[in-house]
Amino acid sequence: MSGLIRRFRFLRFLSIEVVSDAMAVGIFAMKWLRINPPLVWWPVLAISVWIIYTTDHLIDAWQLRGKSAIARHRFHHTHFRSFIVSIVFLSFGNLFLISSFSDIRIVVFVIGLACIVFAYFTALFLKNIIRITLPKELIVAFIFVAGIWFAPLLLTNRNMDLLTVIILFIFLGLAFCEGAMVSFFEYQQDSIDLHTSFAVQYGKENSRSMIQILLFILLIVNLFLFLFTHNDVEVAGLFILLFMHLLLLLTVRYPAFFNKNGLYRIVGDSVFLLPGLLYWL
């Protein structure tokens, strides 16, 4: 079991888990909206997510000069140059792939989202000068959800109904809660490294209460949406989201158990793989 956890931790250090999560949610979006995005969209999505999350970790690693209390940031500091070379190489490749999109709306949205990401990184890099009022976890969750759903939404031939709008907000809420949950479990490390995480901003126990309340509200909304489903894909999608809520709620509700061997990380990273189950419908 310990060997499996070490291998999982190594994949986490490389941000492979978040790329897998993004692909799984992308499958959910594709099936929910009943569209087939261009094949090139998948590598663009994977590369973009990897670049964003790796750059985020590199900024923290550079600011802390390898003295971070978080192992992932120490790993990025050790392999800093290799990550930089990989980001530059993949960025050029990604630009080439993005230029192949025939739909100009997708290109425009990519540019707009890239500007938001750049502004976020600038604020993160200059955090001693520029103070971010919004929780970091909420900004990251917005970028994650918007980056995955924008192409399927632009490519769909039907108008976006209220059910889909609410599903988007549920995904945003779940992504935020997962990030905030991690900040709760890593409160001590974030405090040592002077990170302005959600738990550090609002207090460890207060953040835990807020996460549980938000997850409970989203859970009620999720259950209510079953009244408005029209097909098997929507029913299955809501069941998947329901299970995601329950897993996150259990993790926050019983922190002593899920803190063992970093189990909270395994749950947090794995829960966003569940939307990929919609592929088989």
CA distance 127 to 59: 11
Return contacts of 11-17, CB within 8 angstroms, 24+ apart: 12/72, 12/265, 12/269, 13/71, 13/72, 13/75, 13/76, 15/49, 15/50, 15/53, 15/54, 15/57, 17/269, 17/270
**What does each of the 281 residues of the chain score in pLDDT, given as a tens digit?**
455 566 667 777 888 989 999 999 999 999 999 988 888 889 999 999 999 999 988 988 888 776 777 788 888 888 899 999 999 999 999 988 888 776 788 888 888 988 999 988 888 877 766 666 678 899 999 999 999 998 889 888 767 789 999 999 999 999 999 999 999 999 988 888 777 789 988 999 999 999 999 999 999 999 999 999 889 999 999 999 999 999 999 999 999 999 987 889 889 889 999 999 999 87
Is the pTM value of this prediction over 0.75? Answer: yes
Q: How many domains does the chain have?
A: 1
CA distance 95 to 44: 9
CATH of the domain at 151: 1.10.600
**Which whole-number Å values give the CA distances from 45 to 41, 78, 116, 230, 272, in the listed order?**
6, 27, 16, 29, 15
CA distance 191 to 153: 39
CA distance 224 to 21: 26
CA angle 236, 240, 241 (to 5 degrees): 120
71-78 and 41-64 helices, crossing angle to 10°: 90
Q: Which domain holds residue 215?
A: 2-280
Return the pLDDT at 60.
Answer: 83
Please check whether residue 51 is in contact with residue 90, taking contact to mean a CB–CB distance below 8 angstroms: yes
Q: Identify the DSSP state of 160.
A: P
